[in-house]
Amino acid sequence: MEEIIPQINSWVLIALGVFLMAMEIMTMIFILVFFGFAFVLVGMVSFFMGLSGEVQVLTAIILGGLLTLFLRKPILKLMKTEDLPLETLNTGEVGVLEGHDGQLRVNYKGTTWAVSTGLDDTFSAGEKVVVESLENNLAMITKL
């Protein structure tokens, strides 16, 4: 049988595999890493066995596909992280008014928020208030 693709140098297969694994850093879809690993493995086997180019490429593609099929989901499950709760959006707790450039702002959960317009002049800096809601970067406050 005639070879369509001559035998590919082992170092070329290994370099291609390492390149695919490095490209995985850019994509983060966990597919290229398995195909890269398959090409490295086929390249290392090619050091000891004389395989034709078609067999090398076909073996690497099939092995990469099988590795992706069986290992991608378990690895993604291991790497899954839970989303952090958005505590800054919870309201109904106490904040402290501060003066900033002649305007009142409320210090609430580590962030200063602009106070909504239309406030009575009875609020003053240093006063504790209850933050009722946070809308459009404004804090709606009431007296404690």
Ramachandran category for residue 115: left, alpha or beta (phi over 0 → left; psi -120 to 50 → alpha): beta
pTM of the model: 0.57
> In this predicted model, what pLDDT tens digit does every residue of 5-39 receive, in sequence order?
999 999 999 999 999 999 999 998 889 999 999 99
Cα separation, 96 vs 125, whole angstroms: 8
Domain that holds residue 117: 87-143
**50 & 17 share domain:** yes
Give how many domains the chain has, as a whole number: 2
pLDDT at res. 127: 87
SS3 80: coil
**93 & 50 share domain:** no
**54 & 104 share domain:** no
pLDDT at res. 88: 47
**Which residues does the chain have with pLDDT short of 50?**
88
pLDDT at res. 100: 80
CA contacts within 13 A on the Cβ side of 44: 7
pLDDT at res. 20: 96
List b or e across 40-58, with b for residues whose CB sees 16 or more CB atoms inside 10 angstroms. bbbbeebeeeebbbebbbe
